[in-house]
Structure 1
Amino acid sequence: MTTQTQYDVIVIGGGAAGLSGAQALLRSRRSVLVIDDGTPRNAPADGVHNFLTRDGVPPAELYAIGRKEMQGYGGEFVDGTVTTARRGDDGGFTVEADGTAYRSRRLLITTGLTDVLPDVSGLAERWGKDVVHCPYCHGWEVQGQAIGVLASSPMAMHQVQLFRQLSDDVTLFLHTAPEPTEEQWEELAARGIAVVQGKVEQVEVTDGKITGVRLEGGQVVPRQALAVQTTVRARAGFLADLGLEPAVVESNGVEVGTAIQVDAMGATAVPGVFAAGNVSNPMAQVMPSAAAGLMAGAGINFDLINEETRLAVAARSS
C-alpha cells in the first residue's frame, strides 16, 4: 500500500458538489485532492438543465470545465474508486483508493447516489433518454409527447400531475402502486389523465426509441416517453469504518431511499466529515448540489480555522 502526502481536505466525488467545494477550499489556500470514479449519476443524460449559463451542456463537459478550474487553483485530481475511509491516530483521515492510501485533515463526501429502477424489462436500457424521472431535469425534452408514468409507490400521484403540465396525453400505469384514493381518482379524471391497471411487463422499443408499454397479458399501450419513480441509495458504503451510515429518507410518509444526514453547512455526525450533493440530498439537481458543495467547503475551511486557532493559542501559552 503506497501512502501519499497529507492534504487539508480530500473530496471523494468529482461532480458538481465535489468540484464546487474543492474550488471554495482552494480559494481559501487549502490543499485539496479530489478522488472520482468517473460514474456520475447523470452520465446517461444528454445535457444538464436548470443550471444558469450552462443549460444543455453535456455532464462530462461541465465536469471537465470544473476540473480545469479547480486545477488552476492548484487542486489535484485522481481517477479512482475509494473503498475505505478511516480515522488516523493523528485525528485525521486515511482514504484508500485502488491500492493507494491518501491522508487528510478533513473529508468532503460528494459521491452522489444510485437510482434503483423498477424491475421492468427494457427500462434500464432507456434510462436517461426517454425513460426519465424528473420533470424539471428532462420534462422540456418530452413535452407534448405521449407520456406514461409508471407507478411503483404513492409518489406517482404527485409525479403524474407534474408531467401532465408538460403534455395533454399522459397515462398513469398503476403497476405495483396502491389503488388511488377516491379524491385522487377525481383529480386524475379532472385533468384528463388516463389510468391503466395491471402490472407492466416490458418497455417496447423500436429503432432505439420507446414505442409502447406492454402489460402482463400482452396488451401494448403506445407511448413515446416513460416517467418512473426510482428508489435512491446513497453511495456511502466506504464510510462504514467511520461509523457513518445512510439514513432512510421519506417524503409524505413514503420511503424514497437513503442519504447521509448533514447540518446546514454539510457537517455529518462524524467530526471532520462533511457531505454535500445527492449523497445527502436526493432531491438536489446540479445547481443546488454545486451550492451545497460551496457551503460545505466554507464549513470545512472555518472548521480548520477553529482548529488552527486553538493550536495557535495553546502554542502561545506554552
Structure 2
Amino acid sequence: MNESPWDVIIVGGGAAGLNAALVLARARRRVVVVDAGEPRNRFAPHMHGYLTRDGLSPLDLLELGRAEVLGYGAEIVEGRAVSASGEAGAFTVTLDGGRMLTGRRLIVATGLRDELPGIPGLAEQWGTGAVACPYCDGWEARDLRIGVIATSAMSIHQASLVRQWSAHVTFVGPPTTELDADTRAGLEARGTRILPNAVTAVLADAEGRLTGVALDDGSTIELDRLFVGPRPVARDELLRQLGAEQMTTPMGEWTASDPFGDTSVAGVWVAGNSANAGALVIVAAAAGATAATAINADLVADDTRRAVAELAADR
C-alpha cells in the first residue's frame, strides 16, 4: 500500500509509545502507532506508583490512552512490525500483514518480555501470586509470608527490598550458597530466612491461589506471595535491523541511547523498557513524552532547513 509519509512512526502501543504519540499529535504531527497488543504487564490485574492512576488495570490505562491519542488525530494500527529499514527522513516499517508504513522519524517502544525460570506452576501465578517488582506489589504483600526465589545476583537486591514490607521473608535457591559473608549477615540480621534448596514447583489451591513452593528435598514452604527475577529479553529486533549500537547493562545487552532516547541511528529513538529495562510504567510514559519533545524539535529543525532551501530555490 502506498501512503504519504508519516512524521513519526511509533512501534509499540504501551505507556511509552502512547504518551509519545499524545505529545506529538498535540504538536500537530502526523503520527501512527503500531501495536501488537502484548504489553509486558498484561498479566497483572493492577499497576502502582502512577500518580492519579494507582491501582488501575494496565489494560484500562492503555484503553484510556488510546482514546486520548485518537482524539488528537493520530492513527493506531493493530499489527506486528516485522522489519524496519531506511534512514532519517525515509524510514519504512513493514507489518506482518504486508502493510508498509513510511515516516520521517521512528520511535521504538516495543519493550521487553520476561523469561521466567522453568519451574512448574510459576507461569500460572505470574502477575498475581508471583511478581517481580517490590515497588509495584510490595504494599499488597505487606505482612504476608513472602518467598524470593534466587535466580541471579539481582535477587539479592530483591530480597533486601521486600523485607521492608514484611518480616516473614524466605530467600530460597542454590545461588544463596554463593552469598558473601557480609551479604548473608545483613539479610539474616533483618530476619530473612535463607535456604539453599532448589524450588521444584510452585503450589496453588483449587481456586488457583498461591499456597507455597515445593523444594528438592521433598519439603514445602507455605507462602502467600512469591517474588521472582525473570530474565528480561529486549524486543529489539527492529533496532538491530537498523544497526543501533548496543551496550552492556545489569539486565543484559540493551540498545544504547542518550537521556532523550536518541539512538546511534539518526532519526531513531527508543522509549520505555526499550530504553530502560527497569522502568516502571510512569517512568516509561515519561520517557515517551521526553522522546517526543526531542523528536519534534528535530523535525522543526528539519522543517526549517527545508523551508530555507525552498525559498532559496525560488529566488
TM-score where L is the length of structure 1: 0.94
Which secondary structure does the structure 2 equivalent of 1:118 belong to? coil
Whole-angstrom distance in 2 between the partners of 1:235 and 1:180: 32
- Judged with a 3 Å threshold, the aligned counterparts in structure 2 of structure 1 residues 4 and 315 are, in CA distance, closer, same or farther, namely closer
Structure 1 partner of 2:264: 269
Higher mean Cα deviation, 24-33 or 170-179?
170-179
Aligned residues: 311
- Tell me the residue number matched to 2:41: 42
- Tell me what 2:195 maps to: 196
Partner of 1:142: 141
Task: Output the CA distance in 2 between the equivalents of 1:232 and 1:257.
Answer: 8
Question: How far apart in 2 are the matches of 1:65 and 1:244?
Answer: 32
Structure 1: which 5+ residue stretches go unaligned?
251-255
Aligned 1:27-176 pairs, distance under 5 A: 27-87=26-86, 91-97=89-95, 98-176=97-175
The structural deviation recorded for 1:271 is 0.3
For residue 76 of structure 2, give the secondary structure of its aligned residue in structure 1.
strand
Q: How far apart, in 2, do the equivalents of 1:5 and 1:210 lie?
A: 52
Are the counterparts in 1 of residues 176 and 194 from structure 2 also a CA contact under 8 Å? no
Please give the alpha-carbon distance, in whole angstroms, between the structure 1 residues aligned to 2:214 and 2:246.
36
* Contact kept? 2:5, 2:103, Cα under 8 Å: yes
- Which of 258, 277, 286 is 1:282 aligned to? 277
Aligned equivalents of 1:315, 1:21: Cα separation in 2: 30
Using the TM superposition, give the Cα deviation of residue 36 of structure 1 relative to its aligned residue in structure 2, in angstroms: 0.3
The one-letter amino acid paired with 2:91 is F
Amino acid at match of 1:212: G
**Number of the residue aligned with 2:229:** 229
Letter in 1 for 2:218: G
Distance 2:174 2:127 in 1: 21
Please state how far the C-alpha of 1:259 moved relative to its aligned partner: 2.4
- Structure 1 match to 2:302: 307
**Corresponding residue for residue 243 of structure 1:** 243
Task: Confirm or deny: 8 A CA contact 1:4 1:100 kept in the other structure.
Answer: no
**Cα distance in 2 for residues equivalent to 1:137 and 1:257:** 22
Amino acid at match of 1:138: D
Q: Deviation of residue 206 (structure 1)? A: 1.3
Question: Matches of 1:114 and 1:3 in 2, distance apart?
Answer: 32
Deviations 1:101-139 (A, max 9, x none): 011110011111111112211111111111011011111
Q: Deviations over 1:64-119 (max 9, x none)?
A: 1111111111010111000001106x841110112110111100111111111122
State the distance in 2 between where 1:139 and 1:258 align.
Answer: 28
Q: Answer with 36-45 or 176-185: which moved more.
A: 176-185
Letter in 2 for 1:59: P
Give yes or no for contact 2:120–2:201 (8 Å, CA) kept in 1. Answer: yes
Say yes or no: does 1:209 pair with 2:193. no
How far apart, CA to CA, are the structure 1 residues paired with 2:159 and 2:254? 25
Structure 2 counterpart of 1:280, one-letter code = A
Deviations 1:44-65 (A, max 9, x none): 1111211111111111111111
User: Separation in 1 of the partners of 2:70 and 2:84?
Assistant: 24
Give 1 or 2: higher helix fraction: 2
Contact 1:236–1:246, Cα closer than 8 Å, also in 2: no
| Pairwise CA distance, 1:245 | 5.5
Q: Secondary structure at the match of 2:226?
A: strand
Give yes or no for contact 1:234–1:246 (8 Å, CA) kept in 2.
no
SS at match of 2:276: coil
User: Alignment partner of 1:43: what SS?
Assistant: helix
- Change in CA separation of 1:109 and 1:18 when aligned onto 2, cut-off 3 Å: same
Q: Which runs of 5+ in 2 are unaligned?
A: none
Q: Could you state the TM-score of these two structures normalised by the residue count of structure 2?
A: 0.95
Are the equivalent residues in 1 in contact too, given 2:244–2:264 (CA < 8 A)? yes
Give the residue type in structure 1 aligned to 2:83: T
Assess if the C-alpha contact under 8 Å between 1:49 and 1:56 holds in 2.
yes
